[in-house]
Amino acid sequence: MISRAELRKIARARLKDSETLFQNKRYNGAIYLCGYAIEIALKHRICKTLHWDGYPFTNKEFDDLRSFRTYDLDTLLKLSGIEKRIKKEFHIEWSVVSLWDPQVRYETIGRASRSIAEQMINSTITILRKL
């Protein structure tokens, strides 16, 4: 298991990494890491909602929890127990971050613009504060 405290630290670190990449005009990487920050923060929130000490990590730990083994942000948001609130209060920000998919790691370098990366970082910051 990955502890709740560790999940929180990792999510914050991925956001910082994203901001560093953004400052260095590495927009594709900045967007990519924002998605992971949201994913990890949602897993932290799921633990909090379900009163778990940590999130499953190994294949064995996922034996009876297959639906929790996902990177899909919409699925994780549903599992977090706060989907309605996030989508209602932070509709714009969620619509930005929910476009993320781990496959963005294969996007052509330079495809992401500064403004798109900036929007993703700002939306990520807002969502992380509420998770």
> What tens digit of pLDDT does each residue of 46-93 get?
999 999 998 887 767 667 767 777 788 999 999 999 999 999 999 999
Output helix, strand, coil percentages for the chain, rounded to the nearest 5. 70, 5, 25
Neighbours of 131 (CB within 10 A): 20
Instruction: Write down the residue that tokens 């502890």 correspond to.
Output: 3
Contacts of 86 by beta carbon, 8 Å cutoff, 6+ apart: 77, 94, 127, 130
- The pTM of this model reads 0.89
Residue 61, pLDDT score: 67
Domains of the chain: 2-130 (1.20.120.330)
